[in-house]
Amino acid sequence: MAGWTSAPRPRWRVVDIVVASVLGVAGGFLFVAWNAGWEPISRALAFFPPASGLLVGVWLLPAVLGALVVRRPGAAVYTELVAATVSALVGNQWGFATVWYGLLEGLGPEVVFALLLYRRWGLPTALLAGAAAGVVVGLLDSFVYYPEFSAAYKLVYTGLTTVSGVVIAGLGGWLLTRALAATGALAPLASGRDAERV
């Protein structure tokens, strides 16, 4: 399954929009739960502030998952943006900034899928997409939320957000796609048909 490929299909169908929206909304409620636990969990890592970067991958998951499942140009941005909007509407400690953060977090993996011409959907692609999302959020956080970090801390923080993006968003998104495909829920989509051939 690591070499999943398919020809690009630029036009979105209704089923693509519905599935991406459902994944985005589900991701939004995942964000809500993670937002609630953020303060106590990150406080436990306060002995080394950049270590909180290991936790951000959860916020990057919808982008990679949405693209792997729907396989349409823009799916990473759309799914992440829907999740971020749900999180902002429910309410969180970061307010409306969550929305434009979601847009930029979705752009990271979207660029990876675009560079691969929306043809490769295997594990290496998923890991690379997760890494791209991690780099984006690492750079954003370093300058928006942690300007007091030294250059070394910012470098470490961005490295850890990248690791988190690879493991949670990349590997996690790929495993979730496989799990969803195994249930038959993705049968109308190319990701589901690939699973049937494996």
Q: Collapse the DSSP code of 5 into the 3-class scheme (helix H, G, I; strand E, B; otherwise coil) and give the result.
A: strand
pLDDT in tens, 59-115: 999 999 999 999 999 999 999 999 999 999 999 999 999 999 999 999 999 999 999
Q: What is the mean pLDDT of the chain?
A: 92
Using alpha carbons only, what angle is made at residue 158 by residues 102 and 43, rounded to the nearest 5 degrees? 80
pLDDT in tens, 118-150: 999 999 999 999 999 999 999 999 999 999 999
Percentage above 70 pLDDT, the chain: 93
**pLDDT at position 5, please?**
66
Phi, psi of 120 (to 5 degrees): -115, 130
CA gyration radius for the chain? Answer: 16
Phi-psi region of 128 (alpha: psi -120 to 50; beta: other; left: phi over 0): alpha
Lowest mean pLDDT among 6-10, 18-22, 154-158, 194-198: 194-198
Q: Are 60 and 169 in contact (CB under 8 A)?
A: yes
CA proximity to 30, closest of 79, 103, 75, 76: 79
Q: What is the pTM of this model?
A: 0.90
What's the CA gap between 122 and 74, in Å, rounded? 18
What's the CA gap between 193 and 97, in Å, rounded? 37
pLDDT band at 187 (very low <50, low <70, confident <90, very high): confident
Count CB atoms within 10 A of the CB of residue 23: 27
